[in-house]
Amino acid sequence: MHPSRPQKHSLTLRGHRTSVSLEPAFWMAFRAIAAAEGRGLNDLAAEIDAARGADCGLASAIRLHVLAWYQARAKVAETPAR
């Protein structure tokens, strides 16, 4: 499988199964975020799902969450100590 080809995985959001297609790098980052926060993947996905707007698909919302999470950590790392 090509490393940039989206992979489909099932998630359970508030008792309902759904499939989400993400690129392997996003699945790895999404799992790493859930682990860093001590949460299950389904729990984190349900939170993202509840917060997303009607005009944003779940896969896009997860990608945006991953990006924001890593950007926040990069910004903290770039902030000089005073």
Q: Is the residue at 8 inside a domain?
A: no
Query: Which range of residues forms the domain containing residue 68?
Result: 24-78
Q: Does any domain span residue 16? A: no
Within-domain flag for 71: yes
Q: Is 72 inside any structural domain?
A: yes
Number of domains in the chain: 1
pTM above 0.85, yes or no: yes
Q: How many CB atoms sit inside 10 A of residue 62's CB?
A: 24
Residue 56 lies in a domain: yes
Q: What is the pLDDT along the chain (82 residues), one digit of tens a residue?
A: 567 899 999 999 999 999 999 999 999 999 999 999 999 999 999 999 999 999 999 999 999 999 999 999 988 767 666 6
Contact between 68 and 36 (Cβ < 8 Å): no
Question: Distances in Å between the alpha carbon of 27 and those of 3, 18, 31, 65?
Answer: 11, 15, 6, 12
Cα 69 from Cα 82, distance rounded (Å): 24
Contact (CB, 8 A) for 23 and 5: yes
Q: Is residue 45 part of a domain?
A: yes
Q: Is residue 11 part of a domain?
A: no
